[in-house]
Amino acid sequence: MTTLENPQLNQPSSIYVPEPAEIIKMAKLTEMEMHYELRLADGRPLGQDPGQFVQVSLLGVGECPISLCSSPTRPETFELCIRRVGKVTECLHRLSEGDTIGIRGPLGHGFDVNEMHGKDILIVAGGLGIAPARSLIQYILDERERFGRFFLLYGGRTPQELLFKDDVVRWRENPDVDFHVTVDQPDSGWRGKSGVVTTLFRELPKLDPNETLAVIIGPPIMFKFVVLEILSRRIPQTSIYCSLERQMKCGVGKCGHCQVNNIYVCQEGPVFKYAQLKALRESVE
Ligand SMILES: Cc1cc2nc3c(=O)[nH]c(=O)nc-3n(C[C@H](O)[C@H](O)[C@H](O)COP(=O)(O)OP(=O)(O)OC[C@H]3O[C@@H](n4cnc5c(N)ncnc54)[C@H](O)[C@@H]3O)c2cc1C
Ligand code: FES
């Protein structure tokens, strides 16, 4: 029986079968990163949670995990930000608007937004970490009345490497978010703050440790120092979320590629509470 004869085989229900998605818009963010807006071929919303990822595939080339960088509150399309680093991502950068790619997902565990409702939220994002953070940022801004105070700290290496520069301008002007941005290596044209992302903590007002949930997304080196800043404000380890990137293959708990100790990051993560991560020390060192 062919797929057409058996409507069940047409269901986009299998976590193993990529679904076609059309590239609606493509925009170069930096020399290395491209921003994609996509729509599933059947028009259905992707239905992601902030913090989840998809496996992106190109027939005959391969597959790679990429975080969703848009919120489910904007369901018409979904967005990805892809850094060109190797085989699959190089080929993805060479595509054009109107082309079709394969998508499996949304996969993994994202942020528990229900737990976040009513709380003050502090997001600290570094480098490419602003991509998964953006999904949560958009969610909070779209559902603003459900959250308390909202603080966002973003650090990049250089002004050229800052991602989503249009959003950066909007966040700066938006009274709904207390936003601060810094770069490690400013150039002559940079008028903003310079220094590593932890230097932005001095811009924050007093945080209420019992009412604040903190989110850290960025390279492993950033984790250690940001965690220390957050803990020094007496925010409990169970109130700190971290998003962890591990090498993945299947994305659905079958191959063991992403395993840290007894945990499959692709299934139980990529978002973890810091208290859990501490037990998985290998992953943050
Ligand atoms: C949960 C998750 C979310 C991610 N989100 C994003 C995102 O939003 N945007 C983005 O640009 N990248 C993201 N990545 C990283 C992305 O998956 C890799 O850059 C991609 O797999 C590289 O594939 P490639 O074939 O182009 O490179 P390859 O030719 O396979 O390798 C090139 C380089 O990338 C590294 N790499 C290869 N595979 C992976 C992998 N599966 N995970 C991490 N590093 C890898 C290699 O060590 C090597 O240094 C994410 C990874 C994970 C696990
Ligand atoms: S990537 Fe295969 S088990 Fe996680």
Domains of the chain and any CATH numbers: 7-107 (2.40.30.10), 113-243 (3.40.50.80)
Q: Give residues (CB < 6 A) around ligand 2.
A: 248-251, 253-258, 264, 266
Q: Percentage of residues in the chain with pLDDT exceeding 90?
A: 79
**Ligand closest in space to the Cα of 270:** 1
Residue 5 has pLDDT above 50, yes or no: no
Q: Mutate which of 63, 264, 268, 280 to test ligand 2's pocket (most atoms within 8 Å of Cβ)?
A: 264
pLDDT category of residue 177 using cuts at 50, 70 and 90: very high
Residue in the block written with tokens 């249009």: 166
Q: Mutate which of 66, 93, 163, 259 to test ligand 1's pocket (most atoms within 8 Å of Cβ)?
A: 66
- For the chain, give the mean pLDDT: 92
How far is Cα 263 from Cα 273, in angstroms, rounded to an integer?
A: 13
Q: What's the predicted TM-score (pTM) here?
A: 0.92
Q: Give the model confidence (pLDDT) of 150-171 as tens digits.
A: 999 999 999 999 999 999 999 9
Q: Whose CA is nearest to atom 3 of ligand 2?
A: 253
pLDDT value at position 266? 87
Tell which atom from ligand 1 comes closest to the C-alpha of 80.
8
Residue 191 has pLDDT above 50, yes or no: yes
49 token code pair? 């949670």
270 token code pair? 């990529």
pLDDT value at position 246? 72
How far is Cα 14 from Cα 24, in angstroms, rounded to an integer?
A: 24
- Between 10-19, 124-133, 213-222, 269-278, the lowest mean confidence (pLDDT) is in 10-19
Ligand 2 centroid – CA 267 distance (Å): 8
Ligand 1 pocket, residue 89 CB under 6 Å: yes
How far is Cα 58 from Cα 93, in angstroms, rounded to an integer?
A: 11
Q: Give the model confidence (pLDDT) of 49-84 as tens digits.
A: 999 999 999 999 999 999 999 999 999 999 999 999
How far is Cα 117 from Cα 94, in angstroms, rounded to an integer?
A: 40
